Structure 1
Amino acid sequence: MAAINSLAGDNFLDRKIRFITLQVLMMLFLSINFLLIVTFFQKEYFHTTARYILFGVTLLSDSFMLFMTNILLIFIHFDCPAQGWLCIIICVVILLYVTVTPVTLTAMTLERYVAVCMPLRHGELCSTRNTMHGILIIHGLSSVPCIAIFSAIFVSASLSFYTKYWVCLLELILLQAWQHHLRSAVYQFLFLIMCIVILFSYTKVMKVARAASGEDKKSTQKGLRTVLLHGFQLLLCFIQMWCPFIDAAVLHVNYSLYEIVRFLNFVLFILAPRCLSPLIYGLRDEVFFHALKNVAYFALYKRNIM
């Protein structure tokens, strides 16, 4: 009995350490994103340029997704179940903004393709008005997986499902095995289309890079590296889609191992990419980097004065 109590105590301590670690990382990464968002809103130029507008969309969607996910983590850690209808709303919002980021990355890749391969039409095709329309299209496409997944839930769930209290996890409110398969199929199809778009853009930009010379070659090479960065970010997002299946497989082996694997998957493939990748992208861009540096210097100066 003493051994069982000791094991339970160790498990509780491990959960507490992991929770505190996640909260520290979440606050750190949300602070980084907040600094980038403040920088974005500081300059009017960023609000009228297509690639910066799309970059701002990724910052806002990632920050909102991390904030909502953290609320969910707090609910789960303190064993606070939520009614089915509230859990569905939270999961819809999180799933929507999980999808918005990779779709926006694909749109940013297309913007770089237009800038490098069709420079004379870039101003027309990537105008502020067209970019705003593009943001609406991005959210429309991103809502398709949510509609498909939660339509499947509505078809099979009884009325008591919406008033019953659940531990708010998407894996638990997907009641049937076919719903998990539908979720996997929808996301894999969506990511296949996005991968095709990125490969197409990369091939076209690479052809232009080979033919360019002088300053044009430097600009094209930079565009090529940007497309590669978007491809890498998309790969991390794709791995994130496989995390629930990895977690489920480990769960059948050992529960303690499952908690560790789930913690690592969350930090490596959900938390870190949504904060480090935007930071890297912002540092690579000279205009944004200088604006970011000014905001950081102003914050430090104000802190010293205080």
Structure 2
Amino acid sequence: MAANNSLAGDDFLLLTIQFIVLQVLVMIFLFINLLLIITFFKKEYFYTTARYILFALTLLSDSFLLFVTDILLIFTHFYITIQVWICVIIFVAVLLYITVTPVTLAAMTLERYVAICMPLRHGELSSMRNTMNCILIIHGISSLPCILILSTFFGSASLSFYKQYQFCSVELFMIYIWQHNLRSAVYQFQFLIMCIIIVFSYVKIMKVAKAASGEDKKSSRKGLRTVVLHGFQLLLCLIQLWCPFIEVALLQINLSLFEIARYLNFLLFYLAPRCLSPLIYGLRDEVFFQALKYYASFGLYKRNII
């Protein structure tokens, strides 16, 4: 009995340390994103250029999604339940913005394809009006899985279920096995389309890179690296969709394994993909990076920026 108590105490200590570390990482990520968003709004060039606008959309989307999912994780950690109807309202936004980032990545990849492979049409296709229309299309496409998942839930749940107190997670909306399978199929089909877009853009940009020379070749190679990073980020987002299936299987085996798996999944497949956006555009983009250093140093770093 004493050994069991000691083991339980060790598990509790490990989970507490993991929880604290995760909260520190989330706060660091949100702070970096806030700094990037402030930098974006400080310069007119950034909020009038298509790729920076799409970049800002991923920052806002990821920050919102991480903040809300972290709150839900805190609720679960402290065994706080809420009424189902409140959880439904929260998950309308969560299910929407889970998909906004990967769809935006596909749009950003297409923007790089147009800039490198169709430079003469880039200014026309990347106008402010077209960019705003693109953002509306991104949200429209992203809302389809949300509508499908919630409509199957509304058709299956009884009215009394909405008044119950439950842990708020996406699994709450999966009453039947076929709903799990349908959700997985919809997301994977959507991600397949986005992967095709990224591979298509990569192949086209590679052809241009081989034929180009001088500055054009350098620009094309940088575009290729950006597309590869988008592809890697998209892969992490896709793996994120498989995490609930792994967690449910582990929950039936051992609660401690479930807690550890959920911690690692959140760290690797929720937090990590959303740290890549600042890496891709916040640090690799020379213009944005110079502006970021200027504002992060409160104007002490003085170098000519736009």
TM-score above 0.5, yes or no: yes
Per the alignment, residue 152 of structure 1 pairs with 152
Unpaired stretches in structure 2, ≥5 consecutive residues = 302-306
**Match for residue 296 of structure 1?**
296
Structure 1 stretch 222-231 or stretch 132-141: which is displaced more?
A: 222-231
Hey, what's the Cα distance between the residues in 1 that align with 2:57 and 2:77?
30
Corresponding position of 1:210: 210
Could you list the per-position Cα deviations for residues 196-224 of structure 1 after superposition, in whole angstroms to 9, with x for gaps in the alignment? 11111111111111111111111111111
| Match of residue 175 from structure 2 | 175
Matched, 1:39 2:39: yes
Give me the whole-angstrom Cα distance separating, in 2, the residues matched to 1:300 and 1:45: 21
How far apart in 1 are the matches of 2:224 and 2:61? 25
- How far apart are the structure 2 equivalents of 1:90 and 1:4? 38
Aligned counterparts of 1:48 and 1:194: Cα–Cα separation in 2: 25
* Aligned position for 1:221: 221
Deviation at 1:161, TM superposition (A): 1.1
Aligned residues of 1:36 and 1:279 also touching (Cα < 8 A): no
Which residue matches 1:74?
A: 74
Q: Distance in 2 between matches of 1:190 and 1:260?
A: 29
Q: Which of 20-29 and 55-64 deviates more?
A: 20-29
CA contact (8 A) 1:66 1:271 kept: yes
Q: Describe the superposition over 1:84-116 as per-residue Cα deviations: whole angstroms up to 9, x where unpaired.
A: 111112122112111100000000000001111
Q: CA RMSD, aligned part only?
A: 1.5
Partner amino acid for 2:295? V
Q: Please, what TM-score do these two structures have when normalized by structure 1?
A: 0.94
3-state DSSP of counterpart to 1:175: coil
Aligned residue number for residue 109 of structure 2: 109
TM-score (norm 2): 0.94
Partner of 2:119: 119
Structure with higher RCO (Cα < 8 A, 6+ apart): 1
Aligned AA (1:96): L
Q: Is the 8 A contact 2:150 2:173 kept in 1?
A: no
CA contact (8 A) 2:205 2:220 kept: yes
**Aligned-residue offset at 1:277:** 3.5
Most deviating of 243-252 and 225-234: 243-252
CA distances 1:116-166 after superposition (whole Å, capped 9, x unpaired): 111111111110110011001101100111101111100100001111110
Q: Partner letter of residue 71 of structure 1?
A: I
Asked if 2 retains the 8 angstrom alpha-carbon contact of 1:208 and 1:220, the reply is: yes
The equivalent of 1:30 in structure 2 is 30
1:275 paired with 2:275, answer: yes
Partners of 1:174 and 1:180 within 8 A in 2 = yes
Q: Distance in 1 between matches of 2:91 and 2:154?
A: 14
- What is the percentage of aligned positions where both structures have the same residue? 72
Q: Name the CA distance, whole Å, in 2 between partners of 1:291 and 1:243.
A: 37
1:16 matched to which residue of 2?
A: 16
Structure 1 Cα separation of the partners of residues 248 and 188 of structure 2: 18
Separation in 2, partners of 1:13, 1:85:
34
CA distance in 2, matches of 1:109, 1:226: 8
Count of aligned pairs between the two proteins: 301
For 1:67 and 1:180, locate their aligned partners in 2 and report how far apart those are by CA, in whole Å. 25
Cα distance change on mapping 1:9 and 1:299 into 2, 3 Å: farther
Tell me how far 1:173 sits from its aligned partner: 3.3
Check conservation: 1:30, 1:275, Cα contact below 8 A. Answer: no
- What is the distance in 2 between the residues matched to 1:222 and 1:61? 25
Give distance in 2, aligned partners of 1:68 and 1:6. 34
Q: Unaligned 5+ residue runs, structure 1?
A: 302-306
- In the other structure, the counterpart of 1:304 is none
